[in-house]
Amino acid sequence: MFEALLPWATLFLLANLAAGLWRIWKGPSDADRLLTALLFGTTSVAMLLLLSAWQQAMGMRTVALILVLLATIVSIAFFGMPAHHDD
Amino acid sequence: MSAGLLVDAALGLILVGLALQVISGHQLFRSIVFYVAFGLVMAMIWARLGALDLALADAALGAGLVGALMMVAFRRLVEFEPVQTADAGARDSTLVPVVALLSAALVAALGFSALPVADIEGRAGELALARLDELGLGNPVAAVVLVFRGFDTLIEMLVLLTAYLGARVVAEPRTRLAEPVQAYELPLVRSLLAVIVPIVMLVAFNLLWIGADHPGGAFQAGSMLAAAGVLLLLTGRLLPVERSTWLTRLALMLGVAALLLLVLAPMLAGHVAMAYAGRGALLAAEAAMMMSITLTLTLLFAGAPAVRVLR
Amino acid sequence: MTEWLAIALLAGGCFFIFAGTVGMLRLPDVYCRLHAMTKADNLGLLLICLALAMHEGRLRGALLLGLIWLLALTASTVSSHLIARHARARRIATGRFGR
């Protein structure tokens, strides 16, 4: 029963991810876009964990671990970004 | 229709949509964020395809390192010209439809030529899998990268070294890329580094160690360590310096040297070139490659011939 | 019994990630959206981790899931802090509902 639900849960999270893309597109500020990318990251990690249980591939958890470990790099590189035209 | 098929279709569609946004978007920053998302989806697709070695590398490079690289590059762009960046690259050439059609034709031709390949006997992949047991390696990717196609890997390491040397030649001494991002003054970042960097090193060394039998290896470990190096550069813990040291140069060449040794050493013992030298030799070569990859990527990011630790 | 608890946790996790997405799309300004990202999504991830750990019932797997969750928590804490500081320094305005 639980296993049968895993693909559907993955699909549901993927739908969430796709809906979040609208916010990256719309903005309005850089901070909004980056924030959504980070949300994207958390959802991807959840999806990878579900995928690993669904496909019985525990190696995917290492991929998820790497994603959470390196999730902050982009926001640290972003911090203090000077003002620019399309913001 | 099964959920698995729906997941695959949705992942594919999202990836193509993201790729379109990345290359055709009229705002550079938006395209960069889409590219970060693209890296995440790509890693997920590799994982879904069962290509964990690629998923690991893509998680470290695509989602972490390259995003930061583009963010810092964009920052420099804004510093140089704060106004014009919005529409850079948005001009459409009249050649666009022609190039698009020709590319589509090429893709279609390649696709059709690949269709009958499924029936061919004795493909390289099957041969490699069949002889995996003789090597005593559990990970077919490691066997291909280091044994069956070891020569390609040697050339890849040479390409990396050449790319670094090329960047050194082109870079002017004054155009320093990574001015530390003042984030190091923030209290949280200090604690973050204390948590993240040791775990990144642990995971990277583990990936190197298990690489012969499980997904992992020098490239994955090297890109993870390079991501840690970038984190330390961004927060000012590592500082770019102008003068290279002999130790840095040695570490840069170590990967190529180790692979050359792997090629030539069996000849001294009377075997053919690149004869399989055992697990220990592979691990040593991978460790050397990991060091070179880490240092090359970190120095490319720093835009400097060497880095030093902040004291 | 464990099975049903795991299913409930999975459903709860999906719900909170959904809530995070809705918040990201509907909340009026960047400061509010930070809440959606940091709170709802991490709770969702925790519930999903718990569901998987409970379903598998192995200590090592549960520890890895716990580590992943803690690191995700650390990452989103620092990221949201940096983004909020950036937004404040740049004087990004607060918004109102219904705009």
B224-275 pLDDT, tens digit per residue, is: 999 999 999 888 888 888 888 899 999 999 999 998 988 888 888 878 777 7
Q: What mean pLDDT value characterizes chain B?
A: 84
Chain-chain contact of C25 with A16 (C-beta, under 8 angstroms): no
Q: Residue range C43-58: average pLDDT?
A: 92
Q: Residue range B134-161: average pLDDT?
A: 85
Of B269, B292, B268, B266, nearest to B281 by C-alpha is: B266
In angstroms, what separates the C-alpha of C91 from chain B's closest C-alpha? 18
Q: Residue range A40-57: average pLDDT?
A: 91
Indicate whether C97 pLDDT > 70: no
Can you give the pLDDT at residue B161? 93
Q: Residue range C38-48: average pLDDT?
A: 92
Chain C residues close to A50, C-beta within 8 Å: 48, 52
Can you give the pLDDT at residue C96? 62
Position with higher pLDDT, B178 vs A70:
A70
Q: What tens digit of pLDDT does each residue of A9-21 get?
A: 999 999 999 998 8
ipTM higher than the 0.90 cut: yes
Check: CB of residue B263 under 8 Å from CB of residue B274: yes
Indicate whether B83 pLDDT > 70: no
Of B45, B194, B68, A48, nearest to C69 by C-alpha is: A48
* Band of pLDDT at residue B288, cut at 50, 70 and 90: very high
Q: Name which of B15, B40, B181 to mutate to probe chain A: the one with the most chain A Cβ atoms within 10 A of its Cβ.
A: B40
Chain-chain contact of A11 with B40 (C-beta, under 8 angstroms): no
| Separation between Cα atoms, residue C73 and residue C71, nearest integer Å | 5
Distances (CA, A) of A62 to B47, B53, B55, B247, C62: 11, 10, 10, 32, 14
Q: Residue range B52-58: average pLDDT?
A: 91
Chain-chain contact of B183 with A15 (C-beta, under 8 angstroms): no
Check: CB of residue B306 under 8 Å from CB of residue B272: no
Low-confidence winner among A74-83, B210-219, C10-19 (lowest mean pLDDT): A74-83
Scanning B96-186, the segments in alpha helix (DSSP H) are: 96-114, 124-130, 132-135, 140-143, 150-170
Compute the Cα dihedral for A17, A19, A23, A24 and give only its sign. positive
In angstroms, what separates the C-alpha of B199 from chain C's closest C-alpha? 10
Report pTM.
Answer: 0.88
**B257/A contact by beta carbon, under 8 A:** no
* Band of pLDDT at residue C98, cut at 50, 70 and 90: very low
Can you give the pLDDT at residue C99? 44
Q: Residue range B68-77: average pLDDT?
A: 86
Q: Name which of B185, B188, B235 to mutate to probe chain C: the one with the most chain C Cβ atoms within 10 A of its Cβ.
A: B188
Chain-chain contact of C74 with B192 (C-beta, under 8 angstroms): yes
* Band of pLDDT at residue C58, cut at 50, 70 and 90: confident
Which residue, chain included where needed, has tokens 């902050």?
A: A72
**B274/A contact by beta carbon, under 8 A:** no
Subunits with 3+ C-beta pairs closer than 8 A to A: B, C
| Separation between Cα atoms, residue B301 and residue B140, nearest integer Å | 32
Can you give the pLDDT at residue B37? 92
Which residue, chain included where needed, has tokens 């690993």?
A: A52
| Separation between Cα atoms, residue B305 and residue C70, nearest integer Å | 37
Of C90, B36, C84, nearest to A81 by C-alpha is: C90
Q: What tens digit of pLDDT does each residue of B160-217 get?
A: 999 999 988 887 665 555 555 555 567 788 888 889 999 999 999 999 998 888 888 8
Can you give the pLDDT at residue C73? 93
Indicate whether C64 pLDDT > 90: yes
The H-or-E segment that residue B241 falls in is strand B238-241
Position with higher pLDDT, B190 vs B20:
B20
* Band of pLDDT at residue B45, cut at 50, 70 and 90: very high
Nearest to A74 among B67, B83, B215 (CB): B67
Q: Name which of B2, B8, B44, B77 to mutate to probe chain A: the one with the most chain A Cβ atoms within 10 A of its Cβ.
A: B44
Q: Residue range B23-47: average pLDDT?
A: 90
Can you give the pLDDT at residue C71? 94
Which percentage of chain B shows pLDDT scores above 90?
36
Chain-chain contact of C82 with A78 (C-beta, under 8 angstroms): yes
Check: CB of residue B273 under 8 Å from CB of residue B266: yes
Indicate whether B292 pLDDT > 90: yes
